[in-house]
Amino acid sequence: MFITTNKKLGFIHIPKCGGSSISSAFRHGEKGPNKNNHQDPWSPWYPCDTHAHYSKIQRANIELPETWFTTVRNPFARYHSWYYYQIAWHKKRINGELKLKTLSVQEMQQQVDLLEDLGIKGTLLNLDDVVAQGVPKQVSKPQYDWISGCPNIEWFKLEEIQKCYKWLAKMGCNVEYSHVKKNPKNLTWQEEFDDEMIEYIQQRYAIDFQKFNYELVL
């Protein structure tokens, strides 16, 4: 989540919906100089956790922006991306390509082993148990939970991301899109998911299909 210096925009970062690319665009690069650059009215300022829900910022004693926006994603693609992302990025930290965060190498390896042993389907059907064992809970809740109760919010489908950037340009904010986190996956969700997985996702994230106009498959 970030708020621009001019207080015109606030971005709610729903996990695994392209939010890192949005933040990178506003920073002028993934590690760009524009974070908290108060000379730029469109500089991003981060008042709380990256993936904070609107309800959290609502309780904070700060001036809220005029308009909020967010990006959403097809729930099938979101879970598919998350599974491979979690394994790949854990392995990068285990191998020293990325800095360790709160977990040790041993703890990360245990999580990778759990995800790989269960596989993409087993992880999905046992998602609550997997999260209870410490695996990051990024997709354990519907996307709508992040923006519930938020007034004046615009949402954009990741699959049509250029609509978001055209809207930003109309607002007076010209930023360039770049995809900063690419996952190494060989198959699409359509190729990997069977009917049981599809039905489970449709039930678990039913409100996302409804609120964001994604089509059900079954």
pLDDT tens column, 97-117: 888 888 899 999 999 999 999
pLDDT at 59: 82
Q: How many other C-beta atoms can be found within 10 angstroms of the C-beta atom of residue 3?
A: 22
pLDDT at 48: 86
pLDDT at 207: 98
Q: Where are the domains of the chain?
A: 2-73+143-171, 77-140+186-205
d(CA 161, CA 156): 7
d(CA 113, CA 107): 10
Helical H segments across 28-74, by residue range = 54-59
pLDDT at 131: 96
d(CA 152, CA 135): 33
pLDDT at 61: 81
pLDDT per position as a tens digit, 124-166: 999 999 999 999 999 999 999 999 999 899 999 999 999 999 9
Q: How many other C-beta atoms can be found within 10 angstroms of the C-beta atom of residue 47?
A: 15
Q: How many angstroms separate the Cα of 218 from the Cα of each of 16, 194, 196, 203?
A: 24, 11, 10, 11
d(CA 113, CA 126): 15
d(CA 151, CA 66): 9
* Cβ(13)–Cβ(5) below 8 Å: no
Q: Pick out the chain residues at pLDDT < 70.
A: 29-38, 180-184
pTM value is 0.92
**What's the mean per-residue pLDDT of the chain?**
91
